[in-house]
Amino acid sequence: MAFDWTFILSVYGLATCFAGAGLGIIWGALPGLSVTMAMALLVGLTYTMPASLSIIFMIAVWTGAEFGGAISAILLNMPGTPSAVPTQLAGYPLAKRGEGGLAIGTALTFSMLGNWAGLFVLLLLAPVMIALALNFSSWEMFLLVTLGISISGSLTSGERPVKGWAMGCLGMLISMVGKDLIHGVDRFTFNISFFNAGIHYLPILIGLFGLAEALKVLNSSTPKSIPAKMGRLLPPLSFVMKYWQSALRSSAVGTFIGAIPGVGANIASYVSYSLGEQFTGRRFSRGDFEGVVCSEVANNANIGGGLLPTITLGIPGNSSSALIIASLALHGVVLGPTIESDQPGFLLFLYVALLLANIFMYLSALALIRPSIYLLSMPAGVVMPSVLMFCLIGTFAASYSSFDVAVMFVAGIIGFILNRQNYPFAPLVLGALLGPTADENLRRSILVNEGHYVDMLLRPIGLVLMIVIIWSIYYGITRSTKTARRPYSTDI
């Protein structure tokens, strides 16, 4: 399978990129439908596409949906995606003052700048990370996966990291079902033939981010009124000059948080927003373009950051990049340090796809902002059944297996129940995705280092990783203990 970047410039490539960005914007704008949900439902559609088209489509959907959330957040006071909540806080008061169009234009322009920043960091650091990762032994790979899941558990489960870690363990246990890769022994199959091939993570992803999320927002209210006037759309160039410091800071925050396994755009936009308030000394919630800039730059820079560990280590930076892995896995493309030797030209292809997706996101947004506002008035009673239908069709299309649909269904119901108790999904997804890698590498390192376990434990990279794992667990426990001492706690 070859990845030739010039293919993106073909009619098929450009049309797919445009369609993906447009779909992403509309999906992101619909209140309650998250970016990950869009990608989870659309990943099934990529099965019939060639791998190259599939990656263009998914990247374009991701880029479009990250921005799309800002439209409803600013105009309707209903965030299209969870990462658009800070945009809503700073942007909706602007819309009430009649500056909604300019606020959306600012969100769009700075979303694009955020994407550039993420791409720049990806370009700069991906070769370095790959060179570093190629020196990793099985033991270090095992520790890296453990680190990803422990950090994800610590940072995504609010005040109770034990819940995040429990989800990580559960995800890894689910991934153990099926034939063992080293000895070929059946594990947890209970003589049921469906389990022999294991439980694939894609139906779990669609169940958790599609079905469970749809059930969660089933009764969400439909916007009553849509502002008649939006005013001017594109911001003047002086805006870029005025807010460059915030944009730069938010780019760094978004990219860095994106690169932390399992931590997504939601946290990036919150952190960037509150940092922006601290730096400027202003309350953005009174209506402030700078607040919109901070939030939008961060959640779009998160794309490049999220892709960094995804393509170089095979460890998803966030749930959306887990879906990029899933989409490519449908075509037999495995991401990791050997990606350039396995799939020559892949990195350049990805960079060009990101670049074009960003440009198309901008162009599609200019064309779609006004029409998409009318789509926002669609009642949840129509949108949500369609989402449920897409969950079923998407899962079926990916494998033509009713067993996978059943897995998706069970994952969705369990996910819905767990979500009500604030159990995070990101560590579970990471566990389900990376469980086999951790298992294989742990056993291989024991086999290779038999009798020399002390040497294995004292390898410098491994030592650093172990210290970071211990720190992340310690951090989670201390944060949890501090919260427990407080009489009441509130989730944001």
Partner 1 sequence: MANDTRSTAHHSISELVTGICLIIVSASFGFHSLVMERPGGWGTAPGLMPLILSIALFLLAVTICFSTIKGRIQPAKQTSQVGSIAQTLNDTHQHFGQAIKAACVTGLFYFVLLDLMPFEVAAILFYLAMTYLFWSSASLVRRLMVSIILPLVITIVFQVVLHMPLPGSGSLLEHFIYTIQR
Residues near partner 1, by CB under 8 A: 45, 47-48, 159-160, 162-163, 165-166, 169-170, 172-173, 176, 180, 182-183, 185, 187-188, 211, 214-216, 218-219, 379-382, 384-386, 388-389, 392-393, 396-397, 400, 402, 405-406, 409, 412-413, 416-418, 420-423, 435, 438-439, 442-443, 446-447, 450, 480, 483-484, 488-491
Q: How many other CB atoms are found less than 10 A from the CB of residue 49?
A: 18
Torsion angle, alpha carbons of 420, 426, 431, 433, to 10 = 120
Under a CB-based contact definition with an 8 Å cutoff, are residues 215 and 381 in contact? Answer: no
Under a CB-based contact definition with an 8 Å cutoff, are residues 118 and 304 in contact? Answer: yes
Q: How far is the CB of 406 from partner 1 (least distance, A)?
A: 8
Q: How far is the CB of 242 from partner 1 (least distance, A)?
A: 34
Q: Which is nearer to partner 1, 105 or 435 (CB)?
A: 435
Chain center to CA of 475? 23
For residues 478 and 363, what is the distance between their CA atoms, to the nearest angstrom?
Answer: 47
Q: Which is nearer to partner 1, 280 or 480 (CB)?
A: 480
Q: Which is nearer to partner 1, 145 or 293 (CB)?
A: 145
Q: How far is the CB of 196 from partner 1 (least distance, A)?
A: 14
Q: How far is the CB of 123 from partner 1 (least distance, A)?
A: 33
For residues 7 and 159, what is the distance between their CA atoms, to the nearest angstrom?
Answer: 47
Measured in residues, the chain has a length of: 492
For the chain, give me the number of helices (H) and strands (E)?
21, 2
Q: Which is nearer to partner 1, 40 or 117 (CB)?
A: 40
DSSP state of 232: -
Q: How far is the CB of 251 from partner 1 (least distance, A)?
A: 31
For residues 425 and 205, what is the distance between their CA atoms, to the nearest angstrom?
Answer: 9
Q: How far is the CB of 422 from partner 1 (least distance, A)?
A: 6
Q: Which is nearer to partner 1, 278 or 490 (CB)?
A: 490
Report CA-CA distances (Å) from 62 to 36, 409, 457: 8, 24, 40
Find tokens 């849509």 and name the residue.
Answer: 226
Q: Which is nearer to partner 1, 70 or 384 (CB)?
A: 384
Most distant CA atoms of the chain, gap in Å: 74
Q: Which is nearer to partner 1, 349 or 416 (CB)?
A: 416
Query: What amino acid is encoded at 309 in this protein?
Result: P
Q: How far is the CB of 155 from partner 1 (least distance, A)?
A: 16
For residues 309 and 130, what is the distance between their CA atoms, to the nearest angstrom?
Answer: 9
Q: Which is nearer to partner 1, 218 or 234 (CB)?
A: 218
Chain center to CA of 37? 10
Q: How far is the CB of 81 from partner 1 (least distance, A)?
A: 19
Find tokens 């434990």 and name the residue.
Answer: 457
